[in-house]
Chains A and B, each alone.
Chain A
Amino acid sequence: MAPNEDGSIGSSLHGVRAREQVFSLSVEDGPSSQAIRSDDPTAKFAIPVDSEHRAKVFKPLSFAKPHMRAFHLGWISFFTCFISTFAAAPLVPVIRDNLDLNKTDIGNAGVASVSGAIFSRLAMGAVCDLLGARYGTAFSLLLSAPAVFFMSFVSDAGSYLAVRFMIGFCLATFVSCQYWTSVMFNGKIIGLVNGCAGGWGDMGGGVTQLLMPMVYHVIKLTGATPFTAWRFAFFIPGFLQIIMGILVLTLGQDLPDGNLSTLQKSGQVSKDKFSKVFWFAVKNYRTWILFVLYGFSMGVELTINNVISEYFYDRFHLTLHTAGIIAASFGMANFFARPFGGYASDVAARLFGMRGRLWTLWILQTVGALFCIWLGRASSLPIAILAMMLFSIGTQAACGALFGVAPFVSRRSLGLISGLTGAGGNFGSGVTQLLFFSSSRFSTAEGLSLMGVMAVVCTLPVAFIHFPQWGSMFLRPSQHEERSKEEHYYGGEWTKEEKSLGLHEGSIKFAENSRSERGRKAMLADIPTPVTGTPAHV
């Protein structure tokens, strides 16, 4: 099952938003997966599975073992980590008085809270490959829970920044969650599954804006002073992380057939060389364009999670509670906005191919950024709320649409590219917070508008993403005999020796399936498989 190389490094996030076909009738083994193939694949599962025991159906209301259970454990873990990372944001009006913070301190702590994940997201891919998604998630949850509890020790700007930095590491659960769903769900539905998991997890950034002020208020009612109550409030995200960590370890399962450590590995597991995978990811210029783009869709979203509650509290003289509700609506829009973005990308691809996907991405992200500019300039509360909601839908849908493009940039380095893109989101958030929200140079309102302008400018590079076989926003596909074939693009990631060993077959199969990215017109034409490629197995 070549496209499903679970054992190989670099495939850790394969299937993220890719509609990879599972060749259920393919006889050839090739680099095999870690799963056992039993003779009766559907006997022991509650939902229909393919020959690799990946679920073919997505039933969000079911908790059936192991597929839907993995989905729910994965997205709830990710959701919990978002709650912890942004738990401080709605309480900043209290924390800044307790710790005597100034604007620079608050801004720097915000930058720190998203920076840790840049590295932890890159490392998580390898952790999932080595230890499985369960331990990847559990490590993230249970090892960062102490950082959440350490808020009770914080006494000045420096310790506050350090603790927020350490809590931020847990955002690596994004990678482990997407890895887990990719392993459990068939390529045809993985787009929707990952869009839902990503979007519902991101909602945590919104829920925390509601949850923390509420918890703080309840603790104050029991008689605690404000400066103690906020510290105690952090115990709630801490408890959630511990509970989820234990649930993941007890109820979860790494793979459809069992846990990684107890499974016997059948067949040949050929692991790709990390150095090669890394090189092809880094060499491809499209990786870096996506890095920047995600930095200004997800990055902007992360920044808003940190600053929006304080902004509404200060500018419109609201109570902590009300500001929290408004800020929460921003994050909650993720529930439907991100899956919608993925869906819009799919529909555009059906009609116009990859060019449609790129245009969808550009439109959604630019519209979102324009509404961000409007948000900064709105001086009345209802207009600000309206601008914020439209901005949230645009930006979050852009996140979903971006992961409709990412899986096609490379087949060999898919996992690493997804990890790098994810890290780009955090990097963008760090940059925007540092530039616009960490000094007294700009008011928060000015900062929001300037961030919107920067996002518009940094979304323009999407016009430079060009696929020879599919074209780009403004250029048609190449007319060249060889370069216009998908096989040439994906085959180009392998050397002649590797091709002679047949290691590239997974990429060739992927290339055949990706012909749908040519759009409706090209699909109607008859496209023969080139002789140099692997003959299609029937």
Chain B
Amino acid sequence: MCTLHLIKHKSQSKAYSSSSHKPFFHIQIQESMAIKKLLFASLLICSMIQSSHGATKERLFTDLEKGALEITATPSRTGEGVVLAAGIDKLSITWKVSSTATKEPEFKTIKVKLCYAPISQVDRPWRKTENELFKDKSCPHKISSFSYDPTVKTAQSFDYTLERDIPTGTYYVRAYAVDAKDHEVAFGQSTNADKTTNLFSVQAISGRHKSLDIASVCFSVFSVVALLVFFVNEKRKAKIEQSK
């Protein structure tokens, strides 16, 4: 994200501290209107720079080589109707390059991600699957990313503890093989093409904390009591004044 620079007004003298890295900008209240216009202008410029970075991203998911990586994800607890707990339960992920992979020499990095199953995408357009890779929102959670070692031909595995910011939902695991230009070239996933098999459910943490609950009750009570105290006090003062 680019830093917003505020251009100094000509009539003001600036005190530059020689020891600091960043100059300190002093904003006068009278300049607030001009500053807002400049803020808007620089925001516009920044966003144009940002958007220009993404101008060439039209690589499609359908162009990737399917099934180049064979990957399985085994939850630490399995069974009918088992829901994994975020922050506690683990996934044991095993992967290897398929013998049918043709783009194997291009592989530089393997990125493993947690993806939403279709049921968790219903009525949630921010998790939509899109063909353009940069638009696709179905795999937002990074599990792991490591460089690919072409000399190791056997299956490798690692454990992953479900992070505490994973939302409640149904998931599968997908691994992308990325080339030197940081472009995805191939992928493999732990489920079938229709995303109906080998799915697992996760229950998110609640995010609630006892200390937070107690603090909010305390402050709420304080708020109401403060109002009542003022109110009663003033009524009493008014009565005393009137009786005088």
* A interface residues (Cβ-Cβ under 8 A, vs B): 61, 93, 96-98, 100, 102-104, 135, 138-139, 142-143, 145-146, 149-153, 155, 225-228, 230-232, 235, 238-239, 241-242, 245-246, 249, 259, 261-262, 310, 314, 316-317, 319, 321-322, 325-326, 329, 332, 335-336, 380-382, 385-386, 389, 440, 443-444
B227 interface residue per 8 A CB criterion = yes
Give CA–CA (A249, B222) in the complex, Å.
Answer: 15
Establish whether residues A235 and B227, one from each chain, have CB atoms under 8 Å apart when the complex forms: no
Give a binary string over B152-194; 1 marks a CB under 8 Å from any A CB, 0 the rest: 0000000000001101110000000000000000000000000
A381 to B125 Cα, complex, angstroms: 19
**Within the assembled complex, what's the spacing in Å between the Cα atoms of A316 and B217?**
39
Q: What is the 8 Å Cβ interface bit string for chain B, positions 220-244, against chain A (1 contact, 0 not)?
A: 1111101100110011011001000
Bound-complex Cα distance A215 to B48 (A) = 27
What 3 A-B pairs are tightest by C-beta distance, nearest first? Answer: A227-B207, A146-B220, A149-B216
Minimum CB distance partner of B235 in chain A: A261
Residues of A within 8 A of B40 (CB): 329, 389
Determine whether the beta carbon of A386 is less than 8 Å from that of B125: no
Report the separation of the CA atoms of residues A304 and B143 in the bound assembly, to the nearest whole angstrom: 35
Does B43 lie within 8 Å of A329, measured CB to CB? yes
Q: Of A98, A235, A249, A336, which is within 8 A of B215 by CB?
A: A235
Of chain A, the residue at the smallest CB distance from B241 is A262
- Cβ–Cβ < 8 Å partners of B226 in chain A: 142, 242, 245-246
With A155-B206, A225-B165 as known contacts, state yes or no: A143 contacts B224, CB within 8 Å: yes
Contact flags (1/0) for B108-151 with A, using CB distance below 8 Å?
00000000000000111110000000110100000000000000
Please tell me if the beta carbons of B125 and A443 are within 8 angstroms of each other in the complex: yes
Contact A225 B205 (CB under 8 A): yes
Closest to B206 in A: A155
Given contacts A135-B231, A262-B241, 19 further A-B contacts (CB under 8 A): A61-B29, A102-B123, A142-B223, A142-B224, A153-B208, A225-B164, A226-B207, A227-B164, A227-B207, A238-B219, A239-B219, A242-B219, A242-B223, A246-B226, A310-B126, A319-B1, A321-B1, A386-B44, A444-B125
Are A98 and B224 within 8 A (Cβ)?
Answer: no
- Give 22 pairs: A residue, B residue, CB < 8 Å, sorted on A: A96-B124, A96-B126, A103-B125, A104-B123, A142-B223, A142-B224, A146-B224, A149-B215, A225-B205, A225-B207, A226-B164, A228-B212, A231-B208, A231-B209, A241-B223, A262-B234, A317-B134, A319-B1, A326-B43, A329-B39, A381-B50, A385-B47
Give A155 to B203 CA distance when docked, in angstroms: 13
Interface: B83 (CB within 8 A): no
Chain B nearest CB: distance from A196 CB in Å? 13
Q: Is B36 an interface residue (CB 8 A)?
A: yes
B223 partner, pick from A145, A259, A335, A443, beta carbons under 8 A: A145
In the assembled complex, which residues on chain A have CB atoms less than 8 Å from the CB atom of B38?
none
Digitize B34-71: 1 where CB-to-A-CB distance is under 8 Å, 0 elsewhere. Answer: 00100110011001101100100000000000000000
Question: Which residues of B have CB within 8 Å of A319?
Answer: 1
Partner of A143 from B47, B165, B227 at Cβ < 8 Å = B227
Give the CA-CA distance A97 to B54 in the complex, in Å: 26
Is the interface on chain B under 10, 10 to 19, 20 to 34, or 35 or more residues?
35 or more
CB distance from A23 to the nearest CB of B (A): 31
Chain A residues, Cβ within 8 Å of B33: 336
- Please tell me if B31 contacts chain A, counting CB pairs below 8 Å: no
Contacts of A238 in B (CB 8 A): 216, 219, 223
A8 to chain B, nearest CB (A): 21
The answer to the question of B204 belonging to the interface, with a C-beta cut-off of 8 Å to chain A, is yes
| Chain B min CB distance to A28 (Å) | 29
A-B contact count (CB 8 A): 150
Q: A155-B208, A382-B47 are in contact. Are A103 and B123 (CB under 8 A)?
A: yes
Q: Which residues of B contact A143 (CB under 8 A)?
A: 223-224, 227
User: Are B212's CB and A152's CB within 8 A?
Assistant: yes
In the complex, the answer to whether B165 meets A227 with C-beta atoms within 8 Å is yes
Quick check: A249 and B230 within 8 Å, CB to CB? yes
**Pairwise interchain contact A440-B220, C-beta atoms closer than 8 A:** no
Does residue B80 face the partner (Cβ distance < 8 Å to A)? no
* Chain B residue contacts of A98, Cβ below 8 A: 167, 204, 206-207
Chain A: interface secondary structure? Answer: helix
Q: Measured between C-beta atoms, what is the minimum distance from A397 to chain B in Å?
A: 15
CB distance from B215 to the nearest CB of A (A): 7
| B137: chain A residues within 8 A (beta carbon) | 314
In the complex with contacts A100-B204, A231-B207, A246-B226, A152-B213 CB distance below 8 A: yes
CA distance A69 to B123 in the complex (A): 49
Bound together, the chains give a CA A96 to CA B134 distance in angstroms of 22
Determine the distance from Cα of A239 to Cα of B206 in the docked complex, in whole angstroms. Answer: 24
Question: Is the CB–CB distance between B36 and A381 below 8 Å?
Answer: no
A153 touches B216 (CB 8 A): yes
Tell me, in angstroms, the Cα distance from A259 to B221 when the chains sit together: 26
Instruction: Please report the C-alpha to C-alpha distance between residue A226 and residue B134 in the assembled complex, in whole angstroms.
Output: 24
Cβ-defined contact, A100 with B50, below 8 A? no
Taking the closest CB of chain A, its distance from the CB of B22, in whole angstroms, is 18
Provide the residues of chain A in CB contact with B135, threshold 8 Å: 317
In whole angstroms, how far apart are the Cα atoms of A104 and B124 in the complex? 9
Chain B residue numbers with a CB within 8 Å of A227 are 164-165, 204-207
With A and B bound together, what is the CA distance between A242 and B207 in angstroms? 25
Contact among A103, A245, A261, A332 with B124 in the assembled complex (CB-CB below 8 Å) = A103
Complex: A242 Cα to B218 Cα, angstroms: 12
Which residues on the B side are within 8 Å of A228 (C-beta)? 207-209, 212
In the bound complex, CA of A262 to CA of B241 (Å): 7
Residue of A nearest to B135 (CB): A317
Contacts of B227 in A (CB 8 A): 138-139, 142-143, 245, 249
A227-B165, A314-B126 given; A382·B48 CB < 8 A? yes
Which single residue of chain B is at the shortest CB-CB distance from A139?
Answer: B227
Chain B residues within an 8 Å CB radius of A444: 125
Residue of A nearest to B217 (CB): A149
Let me know if B1 and A97 touch, CB within 8 A: no
A100 to B215, CA, bound (A): 25
Pair A102/B122 contact, Cβ less than 8 Å: yes
- Do B212 and A314 touch (CB < 8 A)? no
Residues from chain A with a CB closer than 8 A to the CB of B39 are 329
Q: Are A262 and B237 in contact (CB under 8 A)?
A: yes
Give Cα A153 to B135, complex, Å.
Answer: 34
Taking A329-B43, A382-B48 as contacts, is the C-beta distance between A97 and B167 under 8 angstroms? yes
Contact A100 B223 (CB under 8 A): no
| A314 with B208, Cβ < 8 A, contacts A138-B230, A329-B43 known | no
A100–chain B nearest beta-carbon distance, Å: 4
Whole-angstrom distance between the alpha carbons of A499 and B155 in the complex? 97
> Which residues in B have their C-beta under 8 angstroms from that of A97?
165, 167, 204
In angstroms, Cα B231 to Cα A231, docked, is: 31
Task: Specify which chain A residues have a CB less than 8 angstroms from the CB of B126 in the assembled complex.
Answer: 93, 96, 310, 314
